Chain A
Amino acid sequence: MREKRLQLIISFESTAHAMAVEEYCMGNGLPGRLIPVPKEITAGCGLAWKADITQKDELLKAFARENIEYDGVYELMI
């Protein structure tokens, strides 16, 4: 497997919420992409948003401003 590094992972309750995040981020030039939910996160949607750890504040502020729903926010070595 490839070398692991600390990443920001955001989980979702449903695929619809994951899709809303992807659409918003792609449409607004925000970083990240959808990945299969890592094993460290047991609950939630089968998809998770992965971004660089340095983007955490920017993403969470945007989600709060736009009322975008997500489940959990994690910092994981993946």
Chain B
Amino acid sequence: MIYLDNAATTMMKPPCMVDAVTKALTTMGNASRGAHETSLSASRVIFHARKTIAELFNCKRTDHVIFTSNATEALNIAIRGAIKPDSHVITTVLEHNSVLRPLYLMEKEKGISLSFVNCDDKGNVDAADFENLIDDKTSAIVCTHASNLTGNVVDVKKVGEIANRHGLLFIVDASQTAGVLPIDMEDMNIDILCFTGHKGLMGPQGTGGMCIREGVEVETFKCGGSGVHSYDKEQPRDYPTRLEAGTLNSHGIVGLSASVGFIKETGVENIKAREEMLALRFYNGIKNIDGIKIYSDVEAATHTGVVAINIKDYDSGAVADTLATDYGIAVRAGAHCAPKMHEALGTVVQGAVRFSFSYYSKEEEADAAIAAVREIANE
């Protein structure tokens, strides 16, 4: 099989990640739950994971790296725990439902109002448009770093400058970019960075988290065992304990820590260059085929390894099914949990076929995908 659905999850993982999880499964105790060696060693690897992630994203406080089960959970915690009730929030049409639905819930339950930055005909948002939507009640900007559907990248540094200038909370969804594009929370003025572990960070599913800037308050969303302050009736206020009740997915976090180590050794810039090269190779191979509609701005200065297309008026699901059954190529079709992006691109009915490359994808896999698309388009 040729796996080109890496925007959903990276299937090929660094061998060191697999080894770390395997070892942990037979040796690891429960972090923060004792002073015997197996618990301490678990605490140490969790701490090391926080540290290595803090370094990757330039989060100044290691203890402000919070582990969650995925980016969705992190975004829910951030949006519901840090945005002021009855305020105005700016987001974009690029967002995934993991941003949109918590915001809609806040609209319903906490009286917030929403404004959306639109995209141009290439599917890009202009960072300056965020500033035009700011009013007296605006308290926060929540935006993705890159669209999961098109791979188009938002200039979060510029958006962060605007947020900072107006004193707004800035929450970034890095689901598609963590491990793939450089992220510097300080340079980009990011208050809360939400990430998943199983995509570009090449860790296990069930891992993810958020990095919180010093001084940013995110309210507790669940309470329970913390291994500390056991007689307090309330969840301790210190991060990370404030947001981490219950046993962590330590076996997964060990794997995430190992894969982040691999990414740092390899270099995010090298990973970015490889994914861009593969996406561009695929794009150049299909762009002149009759009947192909491409939704991704692959020629932009920065782009992730995602290329979304349609072939003629063919149902995207039928194209994906043909790719899987006749060519052994795995891609994603249909709606991609990004309803406003589909509306903007006019693909609500047809959906879109998304090819997504990873660091481990090969040139010949891109070429095989090009050949398959050409054949299907010529049918």
Do residues B40 and A34 form an inter-chain contact, with CB atoms below 8 A?
yes
Residue ID in chain A nearest B40 by CB atoms: A34
Q: Is B227 an interface residue (CB 8 A)?
A: yes
Q: Is the interface of A mostly helix, strand, loop or mixed?
A: mixed
Residue ID in chain A nearest B64 by CB atoms: A16
Do residues B34 and A46 form an inter-chain contact, with CB atoms below 8 A?
yes
In the complex, 17 of the A-B residue pairs with CB atoms within 8 angstroms, ordered by the A residue number, are: A13-B241, A14-B228, A14-B236, A15-B228, A16-B47, A17-B63, A19-B44, A20-B47, A20-B62, A22-B40, A34-B35, A42-B231, A45-B227, A46-B35, A46-B227, A47-B35, A47-B43
Q: Is A77 an interface residue (CB 8 A)?
A: no
Q: Given contact pairs A35-B35, A46-B230, A47-B40, enumerate 5 new A-B contacts (beta carbons under 8 Å).
A: A13-B236, A15-B227, A16-B62, A20-B47, A36-B35
A28 to B318, CA, bound (A): 61
Q: Which residues of A lie under 8 Å from residue B63 when comparing CB positions?
A: 14, 16-17, 20, 69
Do residues A19 and B47 form an inter-chain contact, with CB atoms below 8 A?
yes
A34 to B31, CA, bound (A): 13
Partner of B43, one of A13, A18, A35, A42: A18
What's the minimum C-beta distance from A3 to chain B, rounded to whole angstroms? 20
Contact flags B30-51 to A (C-beta < 8 A → 1, else 0): 0111110000100110110010
Q: Which residues of A lie under 8 Å from residue B317 when comparing CB positions?
A: none
Do residues A15 and B35 form an inter-chain contact, with CB atoms below 8 A?
no
Do residues A15 and B231 form an inter-chain contact, with CB atoms below 8 A?
no
Do residues B34 and A14 form an inter-chain contact, with CB atoms below 8 A?
no
Do residues B47 and A13 form an inter-chain contact, with CB atoms below 8 A?
no
Given contacts A22-B44, A36-B35, contact A16 B240 (CB under 8 A): yes
A66 to B47, CA, bound (A): 17
Size of A's binding interface in residues, CB under 8 A: 21
Q: Which residues of B lie under 8 Å from residue A45 when comparing CB positions?
A: 32, 227-228
A34 to B44, CA, bound (A): 11
What's the minimum C-beta distance from B51 to chain A, rounded to whole angstroms? 8
Do residues A16 and B228 form an inter-chain contact, with CB atoms below 8 A?
no
Q: Is B238 an interface residue (CB 8 A)?
A: yes
User: CB within 8 Å of A: which of B149-172?
Assistant: none
Q: Which residues of B lie under 8 Å from residue A36 when comparing CB positions?
A: 34-35
Q: Is B229 an interface residue (CB 8 A)?
A: yes
Do residues B238 and A13 form an inter-chain contact, with CB atoms below 8 A?
yes
A16 to B238, CA, bound (A): 10
Do residues A46 and B33 form an inter-chain contact, with CB atoms below 8 A?
yes
A34 to B227, CA, bound (A): 14
